[in-house]
Amino acid sequence: MLELDKVNAGYGQAQILRDLSLHVAPGEILCLLGRNGAGKTTTIKAIMGLLPLLSGAVRLDGVSLNELPAHQVPGRGIGYVPQGRRLFAELSVAQNLEIGLMVRGSGTEVLDAVLELFPRLRERFHQRAQTLSGGEQQMLATARALCLEPKVLLLDEPTEGLQPSMIEAIRQVVAVMRDRGVGIILVEQRVDAVLSVADRVSFIENGHNLETLDADALRRDHAIIERHLGV
């Protein structure tokens, strides 16, 4: 179980997250929804140790993560797919995945299992990341995160700018990882992209939790979405 417990954090003098709390259990998909600038990416960065907490805690299975240096956080089993992908553009598909494998010393059987999920990457194994299509790059960023055999997977707007077939491919992989017991935090702008896979949905506004609901409740009552996102 990953939990954020009343996290306050920000950039320099600017506090962004205010008493933000959430949790995700193994085999569960939690979606974070909120408008532009609400603090979704900042929440993910706080989990990854990329910004210091003013107060509060981030814990994985009861063990504090926020006291670790940021480079040690992935090694605890947190896979991160950043907004905008952040691949090593000059490196090949193979080399990008190798970096993922190194984080926790995973072997080639892990690589094989990941490529099983993304056959397209196997076909483009020696191609440089910067020459992949946008959708393929998103697959590679996701595959790299899976190479560290994550307990928790954090995906920041993975479907941004992708066509429906790619969105569907990413969604299927997310569902497979959930079924294998990975806890998933999925950040999205578009409600329709997440409602079908989410277990729970947490609305964020101004760095604070507005409300966390079962996805079933949202599927039944779209007015809740309109109220929180104004869409």
Contacts with ligand ATP, residue ranges (CB under 6 A): 11, 14, 16, 34, 36-42, 83, 189
C-alpha distances out from residue 194 to 83, 109, 172, 218, Å: 16, 30, 12, 11
Q: Which is nearer to ligand ATP, 221 or 226 (CB)?
A: 226
Question: At closest approach, how far in Å is the CB of 206 from ligand ATP?
Answer: 9
**Going by C-beta distance under 8 Å and a sequence separation of 6 or more, which residues neighbour residue 172?**
none
Choosing among Mg ion, ligand ATP, none, which partner's interface includes residue 138 (Cβ < 5 to 8 Å by kind)? none
Q: Which is nearer to Mg ion, 21 or 83 (CB)?
A: 83
Single out the residue of 160, 108, 164, 96 nearest to residue 132, CA to CA: 96
Taking CB under 5 A as the criterion, the residue among 4, 38, 41, 121 binding Mg ion is: 41
Q: Residues 138, 225, 229, 8: is their CA dihedral positive or negative?
A: negative
Question: At closest approach, how far in Å is the CB of 122 from ligand ATP?
Answer: 31
Indicate whether 159 belongs to the interface with Mg ion (CB under 5 A). no
Question: At closest approach, how far in Å is the CB of 128 from ligand ATP?
Answer: 27
User: With the CA atoms of 90, 91, 92 and 97 taken in that order, what torsion angle do they form, in degrees rounded to the nearest 10?
Assistant: -140
Please tell me the distance from the alpha carbon of residue 53 to that of residue 81, in angstroms, as a whole number: 21
Binding site for Mg ion (CB under 5 A): 40-41, 83
